């Protein structure tokens, strides 16, 4: 149990008298999670300002509050509030001190990029676990270590939650931690002070421009991960990506590359593929994978490269690679007795959707049709909406444009944005997502393909302020089973 006077001294606050109620049990950024004895950190976020919740945190039992400025009009106990104007820049330092720098005792592997982060991170965790290496996972889907599985709230947790999770993993004797690192997390300092042993770059294409505003800003956000690497770290880069060299400009890390096109450290070649998987060659050695598609070949190369950089044995790595199945919601096949090939995928960018549909086109028979159910999220990058519709129409035979987490926006307006300027005529607009899936199933014949894209592992729809249960895989499975 640390005393606030220790923290105050570390942060450079004015000396404070030691009081019993200044014992800190934990740190919190979210006032809803404050427990008696916690220290509440009030900072201004993207959508909310922590200063507005100081009174609530104190009412919940916060022993101490750190804030960037005094709360206005507050009637709460101000004796517990201490002001640190540069608090936003000091949170990571505070976490590192409070949790005793857990990252220093862990080998951290960070995975960033537009697409493939979840597949690489989750599959790498599965591989390392199969090799009996005590490993942890922090991903878009969940957090895993020892015998714990915790649903994830963010791709990369808040800085406080991240340090807490790493401290818990250290206490559980975990040695390797694989984590997805989002562009939002990098810009917001959620991984500040975290020393990564290996950083992986998968690819980059348009995404999150509602937040980053420009593609250059988005690239620069990803670049932050490699800028902070030490000379002892390794940067594993997809060298077939044209922005790869830019990401490494200011990095002190050792560079390793993987590629399907050119000779590099980890060179791959697709020998054969079908709906059940593919035969892949890495550095002249072949193995069979249960994953399929060119984009998954890149993912497997990244996983293999990390394992080799960690010093794992090649034959053991290849054996484990051959066992890997795609994570939930990543080209997840839904079996059908009717002979229809149905898939659910998280593809929610033009590039990701193109990758998946291109793979299905390579797999289908000569007369098979592809039906693509796709939407675009509300309160997100509006510029990609017509691009998503264009890709769906160009690469599928019938595109069923529908809702996907409309949030505060009118679903019909989102669909109007998607179809504006669209020159294809092979699409149908069905605002209700379940109805769109139902239509795809009714249209499909044996041998045809259905792709329900955009939500993947998510089991909800966000409509207005409501979070409604909705699982693409479950709905698709039920529709297929009830097909006459």
DSSP three-state, residue 26: coil
Looking up residue 416, the CATH number of its domain turns out to be 3.90.190.20
- The reported pTM is 0.90
Nearest CA among 261, 225, 256 for reference residue 242: 261
Looking up residue 159, the CATH number of its domain turns out to be 3.40.1190.10
- Is 17 within a domain? yes
Does residue 197 sit in the same domain as residue 271?
Answer: yes
So what's the pLDDT on residue 16?
A: 44
So what's the pLDDT on residue 153?
A: 85
Does residue 107 sit in the same domain as residue 238?
Answer: yes
So what's the pLDDT on residue 22?
A: 55
Domain span at residue 193? 102-323
Residue position matching structure tokens 């069923």: 400
So what's the pLDDT on residue 383?
A: 92
So what's the pLDDT on residue 18?
A: 44
DSSP codes of every residue in 449-467? EEEEES-TT--EEEETTEE
Pairwise CA distance, residues 463 & 381, whole Å: 17
Pairwise CA distance, residues 291 & 269, whole Å: 14
Q: Read off the pLDDT of residues 105-162 as tens digits, 9 standing for 90 and up.
A: 999 999 999 889 999 999 999 999 999 999 999 999 999 999 999 998 878 899 999 9
Q: Would you give the distance in Å from CA 439 to the centre of its chain?
A: 30
So what's the pLDDT on residue 211?
A: 65
Pairwise CA distance, residues 109 & 139, whole Å: 12
- Domain count for the chain, please give it: 3
Domain boundary among 67, 90, 113: 90
Q: DSSP letter at 327? A: P
So what's the pLDDT on residue 17?
A: 43
So what's the pLDDT on residue 213?
A: 75
- In which residue ranges of the chain is pLDDT below 50? 1-2, 16-21
Looking up residue 29, the CATH number of its domain turns out to be 3.40.1390.10
Does residue 224 sit in the same domain as residue 254?
Answer: yes
């Amino acid at each position: 149990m640390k005393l606030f006077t220790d923290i105050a001294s570390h942060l450079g606050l004015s000396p404070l008298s030691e009081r019993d109620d200044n014992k800190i049990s934990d740190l919190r950024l979210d006032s809803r999670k404050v427990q008696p004895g916690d220290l509440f950190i009030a900072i201004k976020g993207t959508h909310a300002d922590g200063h507005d919740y100081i009174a609530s945190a104190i009412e919940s039992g916060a022993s101490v509050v750190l804030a960037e400025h005094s709360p206005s009009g507050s009637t709460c106990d101000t004796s517990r509030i201490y002001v640190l104007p540069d608090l936003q820049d000091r949170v990571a330092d505070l976490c590192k001190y409070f949790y005793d720098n857990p990252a220093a005792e862990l080998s951290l592997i960070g995975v960033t990029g537009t697409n493939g982060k979840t597949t690489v991170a989750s599959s790498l965790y599965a591989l390392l676990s199969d090799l009996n290496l005590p490993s942890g996972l922090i991903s878009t889907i969940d957090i895993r270590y020892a015998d714990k599985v915790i649903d994830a709230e963010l791709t990369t947790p808040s800085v406080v939650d991240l340090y807490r999770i790493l401290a818990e993993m250290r206490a559980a004797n975990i040695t390797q931690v694989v984590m997805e690192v989002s562009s939002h997390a990098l810009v917001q300092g959620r991984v500040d002070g975290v020393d990564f042993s290996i950083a992986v770059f998968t690819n980059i294409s348009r995404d999150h421009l509602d937040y980053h505003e420009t593609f250059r800003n988005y690239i620069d956000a990803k670049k932050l991960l490699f800028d902070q690497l030490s000379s002892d770290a390794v940067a594993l880069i997809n060298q077939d990506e044209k922005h790869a060299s830019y990401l490494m400009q200011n990095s002190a890390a050792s560079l390793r590359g993987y590629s399907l096109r050119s000779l590099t450290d980890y060179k791959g070649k697709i020998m054969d593929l079908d709906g059940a998987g593919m035969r892949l060659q890495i550095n002249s050695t072949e193995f069979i994978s249960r994953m399929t598609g060119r984009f998954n070949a890149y993912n497997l190369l990244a996983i293999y490269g990390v394992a080799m950089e960690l010093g794992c044995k090649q034959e053991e790595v290849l054996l484990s690679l051959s066992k890997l199945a795609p994570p939930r919601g990543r080209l997840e096949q839904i079996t059908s007795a009717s002979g229809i090939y149905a898939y659910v995928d998280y593809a929610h960018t033009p590039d990701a959707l193109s990758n998946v549909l291109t793979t299905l086109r390579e797999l289908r028979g000569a007369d098979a049709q592809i039906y693509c159910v796709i939407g675009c999220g509300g309160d997100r990058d509006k510029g990609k909406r017509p691009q998503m519709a264009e890709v769906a129409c160009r690469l599928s035979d019938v595109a069923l444009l529908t809702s996907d987490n409309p949030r505060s926006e009118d679903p019909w307006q989102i669909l109007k944005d998607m179809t504006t300027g669209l020159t294809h005529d092979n699409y149908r607009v069905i605002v209700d997502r379940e109805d769109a899936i139902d239509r795809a199933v009714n249209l499909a014949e044996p041998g045809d393909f259905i792709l329900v894209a955009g939500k993947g592992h998510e089991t909800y729809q966000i409509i207005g302020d409501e979070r409604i249960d909705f699982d693409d895989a479950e709905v698709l499975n039920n529709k297929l089973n009830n097909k006459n």
